[in-house]
Each structure stands twice: as structure tokens, then as C-alpha cells.
Structure 1
Amino acid sequence: MTTTLDHTEADALRRDIADPGHRGLFLIPPADGGRYPDAAYLAGNSLGLQPAATRTELLEDLDDWARRGVEGHLDARRPWLPYHALLTESAARLVGGLPRETVVMNSLTVNLHLLLVSFYRPRGPRTRIVIEDSAFPSDSYAVRSQARFHGLDPDATVVRLDTGDVPGYLADEGATVALVLLGGVNYLTGELLDIPAITAAGHAAGAVVGWDLAHAAGNVPLRLHEWGPDFAAWCSYKYLNSGPGALSGAWVHERHLGDRSLPRFEGWWSTEEATRFEMAPVSRPPATAEAWQVSNPPIFAMGPVRTSLRIFDEIGMAELRARSIRLTGYLEQLLDPVVATRPLHVLTPRDPVRRGCQLSLRVERGGTQELTRRLRLEFGVVADAREPDVLRLAPVPLYSTYHDCWRATDALARLIAEACP
């Protein structure tokens, strides 16, 4: 692969020949503007692209419904009754968990609430919930509502910290902390937190530690079982490319499995599979993460997750992470001269170990919504804005190209120069 950065389009194209990724496995949207037929899609941190195999495999599940009706529960190509188990081992490998610790179900914030029923148990002075100051709003809403549910004042209970301040706060105030719940990769800045170190600090303080891995799963390698947090959850519509509003994954460390003292909401799918159809009035939850399931799985929502997880199994996170570092580093180098002379500031850490495949730019004069609109309509570059002043660019290693990075940087430089001559 070429190592000399000459900032030319030709150099970007040469890099793509040497380091092509897996673009052919995905459907690339057409460009809305500009001189190229395909979009330079750098918004996979918001919604990943559709794998080419998804339509065919989803239609197979639909055909089974048409052909077999109710018999599809046991007699489909992929029988529906145990369908969720088709996702379990792949999802566990993706996050570095054991299969018995892992389940795919519901949506992300629903799963967080189900897990918090078990793991947020305020007692005496130990009531506080620590989140990052720039937490995704849904996480903030969830923990504040949990505090209210327990009769606590959310303004006094929820502690918002800069990510770098979390270990020190736990060392000083840990006796008051019941729960630490942070994003593994911060949605706004793209910072990859030190999950094992923060987990250890939380446990040393006597707190429960959970992780929202919405921007980490499929983006960075994870070893949850080894690192030892209590629980985690993630969505699958960003880096996992399973479609808008796609299902979530949930993970519970094995030390909690089978613990009957944990409060937990239950439903039809919370009881053990072997006796489910005895129709007993009392649940018999298995000693696995499946005990946190409530409803039977939505088959047509699970299909795209299964299709996508197979791609990660076939390629592997090690290969994807290596390409991610190369691709994001290339984008960063292209942006450096633009940032140096314009009212832009990169929020994301420069150290590749401390970030995923996202670079966030603060535009000092704001207007990022209009900026992303013009990038798309005039140059065919799809980026992502977060109010009031952050532009996010995510070169996803599965399908993004060096040429995408070049196009985005060239377009951004032109628009910023026009706005700030």
C-alpha cells in the first residue's frame, strides 16, 4: 500500500486498489449531486449500509411464512421457534462474550431498561448513576427515569462527568455510586473509552458497571467476558448494518446468570425453552442471558441481523480494525491542512488506540446542518451533523474507500473556504 500522502485523487484511487475492503458486499446509495455516480457514504455511525444478501435472505423468511403458515415455527428453512439462537454465537464473538451471556432482542433503550431493573438497585447513600457529560440523550433519559422510578431526584442522582474525570470521581466519591453506565465509544466525539480500566475502577468503588456499546459493537474489538463489566447492550443499525431501528444485543456477565436474587421482568420468552409449551403459570428462567428476554423474537427483524453478523464472522474484527486504523488515519491526514487554516477543530483523539472509525469536527461558526446538506447535494458526500456545531465523518472499514475520504475532504475544504475566505 502507498505510504506517501500526496493529497491527490489519484493517490486515493491507488490506495483503494491496494487496500480494497469489502465494498462489494454492500449496496452503495447513488449520489444526490456531484460528478460521481455513487455517494461517498461516511454516515455509517448513524445508519449502516444494506448488505447485498439481506434482501434475498429476508425474502426467504417471508416465503416460509407464505408457504408454511404457523408450521414455520418448527418447519421453516430457519425455524422460528429457535431463530434467535442463530444469532447468539456470532453476537457473542463480536463482543467477546460467551454465548450463554449473550442474547439479541428488543431495541437498545428497552434492553437498557430491562437490565437496569436488575442492576440499578440504590440503597442507603449508594444511589448515584455516573454517565458521561456527552452521553447520547436516550441514555440520559433512561437513567433519569430510572432514578425517578426509585423515588429519587434525577438532578441529584445522575452525575454527568467528562470521560477523563470518571476514574478520579470513582476514587473520591465511589461510596455514593450505585451504577456506572458509559458509552464504549462516545457518539459525539468518537472517543474510545478505556473499558477495562473504567470497569475495574467502578468495581473497586463497589459500583455496578454497564456499557452502552452502540458505537463500539462492530467498530472496535471487544472482550467483555475478560474485562468483566456486569452488563452491556448495543444496537445493530450502525456498524452492524442491520437496518433502521434494528434489534439490539444484550450481554450479562456469567457471574450473574442463574442468580435468582436479581429482580427481573419476565414474559413468554423468559422461561426455559424445554418447558415453554407446558404453559405453566410460573416462569422457569434459564441460567443464561435469555432469562432477560420478554417476548418472542420478531423473525423478520432478526433476519437482517443474522445476515450482517455472518459478514463479521467471515471477515473478523482484527482485519476490520486494522483497515479502520489505516482508513481513519488517512482521513485525518487529509483533514490536517484544512483544519490548520480554517475555523475547524477535531474533537476525536489523534491516538488510533483511543478512537474508532469516526472523526468529529467542531465547526466554530456552526451551521453544520446546512453544511451536511450541501455536502450531499453538491458533492454526493453523505456525512452526519449533531447540533449545534459538530460534523461527524465515519470511514467504515467494511465499505468505505480512500476515495470517499478524499472526496469528503475536498468538498469540505471547498465549502469552508467559500464560507470563510
Structure 2
Amino acid sequence: MNYQNDLAFARRQDEQDSLKNFRSRFLIPQHNGEDAVYLCGNSLGLQPVSAQQYLADQLNTWKNLAVEGWFQGDDPWLDYHKSITGSIAGLVGAQENEVTIMNSLTVNLHLLMVSFYKPDNKRFKILMEGGAFPSDQYAMESQVRFHGLDPKDTIIEIFPRDGEVTLRTEDILKTIDENKEELALVLFGGINYYTGQFFDLKAITDATHAAGAYAGFDLAHAAGNVPLQLHDWGADFACWCSYKYMNSGPGGISGIFVHEKHFADKELNRFAGWWGYRRDKQFLMAPGFDPEVGAAGWQISTSPIPLLALFKASMAIFDDAGGLDTLRQKSIHLTGYLEFLIQGINKEQGEVIYKIITPADPVARGCQLSVVCKRNAKAIFNYLAQNGVIGDWREPDVIRLSPVPLYNTFEDVYQAARLMADALKAV
């Protein structure tokens, strides 16, 4: 696309956008009586207009049927979660029985590590990205200590080369190979929360398996954002939150993926609960845990129907939009337009004031651009917020901006960049 730094250009792109009507299916925050420029879907997705009705429907079922809601009504609660798994499987590139919805992200990360982190005298090390989101760091540290090991001797963090901000795939693969005799698990984020780098998950999975270890991924910033093919890539497991690009509401329910090759493996440990028991015999209340086949066998507790209802509202929108293949094309153009406009500001200034640290290659990123502000960073962020641009601040000097294809427009991106230019004069 030949971008232009012009409002008329942005509006033409919006008018020609085949997805333009989906914006009206979300509630946009207001600023001075007008739609704010919301570029923070990387942190919390917007509320679907339909969310209130989906939630009200289940509250009405509770009111009218009470406990019988588990078995009666239009959407009996006993299998309510299954009405969403097909949509989610499509977004992460999985077979439907390889995914389920449960708990929250870090809880699921712990539960999956119970199954897939089994250190012994030979293989006990975990490889992760340096600078991963703190929850991942804390989870791995505590899992290692639970097994009586020292994180300093067990967890290998790989950082970018000196003078670089993002990781090179070749360095990741080399580190896996160098530690192949001791590796038990490689656990990476799909997209780094700080830089916005989308890792080559297939290459990481292949190298990990060649080293004889398990490959798992935290897809908090990837699910609903970038195309994933977890089944075909052969990833052993993955988990994600749903409240960012999947728009399920603050603290919304999480999801997991377990590859079908592990379904019959009786050697995998797991923490069991009644909700994960095989469904055809669940109400016999028999002793001894016999898991449901598939990822559903990792479930523990009863599904929280209100959270599932909110999630289902968003998944219906994804289904209507045609899934990520369609959304991805718009996403590439939106984020590319933001990059083009930011580079134009730097050119006008005669120096790089706004340094984009997210990879320039669209294959290596999703919606998000992470921008280092080299002058008055916090004041610029505050100026943007005061003028209706909602982004995300990360210490010490990074603004994260994420144009989401379901509800953001080219005009949103244009206005955000215009205010970024204005901010250099105003603060």
C-alpha cells in the first residue's frame, strides 16, 4: 500500500474497508463527547455491544431455571463452554478437542507445567525469553523451586545481542542446541509484551523437539492478534488470556491448548478435578480420576458461565468477520500506516525522536508498535491521553500503540500520529 500523510487518504481507506461495519459492534470510550482514539487493545480489548445481552441471557436463565439451567434452556450450562471452543480453535490453529476454556492465564500456565515440566537428574532446565512478562518469570521460578531446584541453575534466559532490542531466531535456536542435553522445557511468549516481537514459534518448536524437550507458549499477546497454527507446528501446549485481542472483558477467562499426541499419555501428571472427568460417566461420582479425552481433561473447576457469556459475545464477532485471515490483512496495513506516519514525524524533526523497537517486518509483529520516546516521554504520553489517544505506558520511556482491525480505523491512526507530532511542540 502506498501510504499518504493525509486525512483524506485515511478516510478513503476507511470507506473502502470491508470490515468497516465491525467498529459499530464495539463500545468506544468517549473523550469530550466524541470517540476516543483507542489504541490499547494489547492491554484490554473493547466491550462488544452485544456483551450485555449475552450476559443478561444467562442471568435470566439463572433467574428462571436456577439449577436446572445446567441441563435446560437454549444454552444448557453443562456444555456451554463447548459452544465457543470451535471459534477459539480456529483462531489458534488447533483441532477443537485440543482447546478448552478455563481459569486465568497464570493459573493455566502452572497447571500445564505440572504436566510438561518434569525435571530429572539429566533434563531439568527451562529456556525462556529474557524480559518476559513478570507472571511468566514468577511462575517458572516457583515451579522450579517446587521441584527443589535453584532458578539460577535451572532457568536460562536469552537476551538480545548487545545494541539490539529484539531476539534473533538464530540465537534462540543456537541456545536450544547448546543446552539440548539438559533442556526439559522451552517456554516462550508468542509475542513479547514489551517489544511486540512475534517469535518464530514453528522454528522454536522444531528445535526444541530435536533437543528432546517440550515446547510451550504463552500466547497472551498473540491469540486473536496473529495467525497461529499450533497443531501443525506440533507445539506441546499453550495458554492465553482472552481479554486483550479477544475482548472478553477485564480478567476474562483463559484458554489452553494441548496437542492431541499427548491425549493417551498416562505418564503426564496433572492436577485433577471433577469438571475434567470423562463426561459420559461424570455423574456416576466414581472414585479414581478418569479424564475426558482432549484438552477438556485438564479442566478442574466448574465453568464460570457469566465469564463465558462475555467471551461468547466477542467470539461471535470474530466468526462473522471471517476469522484472522481477513483481519490480519487489515492489521498489517493499519500498523504499517502508523509506522509510516511515525517515521514521517522523525523525518520532519531531522532526528529519531520516536524510535520504533518493534520489528519492521510484518511477519515478525502483530498489531502493536512499541515506541521509545527520546524526549519528554511521560509528558508526551500524558499529552496524548489528555487529547483522547488511549495508549499504554511502560517504564521508562515506551508507549505501546496497537491498532486493532476489528474496531480501529485509518483515521484513528492518522489522528494519533498528528497528536504525536503536536506533542513535540506542546510539551
TM range (shorter): over 0.9
Counterpart contact for 1:331–1:406, Cα < 8 Å: yes
SS of residue matched to 1:174: coil
- Deviations along 1:261-285, one digit per CA (max 9) or x if unpaired, are 1110001112111111111122211
* 1:112 alignment partner in structure 2: 109
Q: Is the 8 A contact 2:176 2:211 kept in 1?
A: yes
Give the corresponding residue for 1:409.
417
Contact 1:372/1:382 (8 A) holds in 2: no
Cα distance in 1, alignment partners of residues 194 and 9 from structure 2: 30
Any residues of structure 2 matched to 1:10-21 within 5 Å, and which? 10-19=8-17, 21=20
State the shift of 1:339 in Å: 3.3
- Equivalent position of 2:163 in the other structure: none
TM-score w.r.t. structure 1 length? Answer: 0.95
CA contact (8 A) 2:342 2:354 kept: no
Seen in structure 2, the aligned counterparts of structure 1 residues 102 and 5 have a Cα distance that, compared at 3 Å, is closer
Q: Hey, what's the Cα distance between the residues in 1 that align with 2:79 and 2:209?
A: 35
CA distance in 2, matches of 1:5, 1:273: 54
Task: Give yes or no for the alignment of 1:327 onto 2:327.
Answer: no
Q: Find the aligned partners of 2:261 and 2:380 in 1 and give their Cα distance.
A: 48
How far is 1:289 from its partner?
0.7
What code does the residue aligned with 2:115 have? S
Distance 1:374 1:307 in 2: 34
Distance 2:117 2:27 in 1: 41
CA distance in structure 2 between the aligned counterparts of 1:141 and 1:46, rounded to whole angstroms: 20
Give the aligned residue type for 2:227. P
Q: 2:399 corresponds to which residue?
A: 391
| 2:164 corresponds to | none
Tell me which amino acid in the other structure corresponds to 2:133: F
Corresponding position of 1:243 = 249
Q: Distance in 2 between the 1:269 and 1:85 partners?
A: 13
Say which of 328, 347, 372 aligns to 1:362.
Answer: 372
Please tell me whether the aligned partners of residues 366 and 388 of structure 1 are also in contact (alpha carbons under 8 angstroms). no
Deviates further, 251-260 or 305-314: 305-314
Change in Cα spacing, 1:40 to 1:99, as seen in structure 2 (3 Å) is: same
Indicate the RMSD between aligned Cα atoms, in angstroms.
Answer: 1.4
Counterpart position of 1:212: 218
Partner in structure 1 of residue 189 of structure 2: 183
- Listed as ranges, the matches of 1:298-337 within 5 Å are 298-315=304-321, 316-337=323-344
> 1:373 is matched with which residue: 368, 382, 386?
382
AA of the residue aligned to 1:395: P
TM, length-normalised to structure 2: 0.93
Instruction: Give the secondary structure class of the aligned counterpart of 2:264.
Output: coil
Gapped regions of structure 2 (runs ≥ 5): 160-166
The answer to whether the 8 Å contact 2:377/2:398 transfers is: no
Is structure 2 residue 20 aligned with structure 1 residue 23?
A: no
Is 1:277 matched up with 2:283?
yes
Residue 302 of structure 2 corresponds to 296
Distance in 2 between residues matched to 1:166 and 1:209, nearest whole Å: 13
Alpha-carbon separation, structure 1, partners of 2:304 and 2:265: 27
Residue type of the alignment partner of 2:3? L
Corresponding residue number in structure 2 for 1:89? 86
Aligned to 2:4: 6
In the alignment, the residues of structure 2 paired with residue 95 and residue 366 of structure 1 have an alpha-carbon distance, to the nearest angstrom, of 39
Query: How far off its partner does 1:417 sit?
Result: 3.6
Runs (4+) off by over 3 Å: 3-6, 365-368
TM-superposed deviation, 1:232: 0.3
Q: In the alignment, which of 56, 62, 78 is matched to residue 53 of structure 2?
A: 56
Code of the residue aligned with 1:235 in structure 2: it is: C
User: Taking structure 1 as reference, are residues 9 and 224 closer, same or farther at Cα in structure 2, changes over 3 Å only?
Assistant: same
Q: Distance in 2 between matches of 1:344 and 1:336?
A: 8
Q: SS in structure 2 opposite 1:215?
A: coil
Q: In 1, distance between residues paired with 2:126 and 2:357?
A: 25
State whether structure 2 residue 207 is matched by structure 1 residue 201: yes
Deviations 1:149-208 (A, max 9, x none): 111111221111133221110121221211111111111111111110111011111111
Q: Who is 2:359 aligned against?
A: 349
Return the letter of the residue paired with 1:384: D
Q: Determine the C-alpha separation between the residues in 1 that align with 2:266 and 2:282.
A: 19
CA contact (8 A) 1:211 1:232 kept: yes
Cα deviation, residue 374, structure 1:
2.4
Q: Which stretch of structure 1 is more off in the superposition, 219-228 or 308-317?
A: 308-317
Q: Hey, what's the Cα distance between the residues in 2 that align with 1:327 and 1:5?
A: 10
Give 1:416's aligned amino acid: L
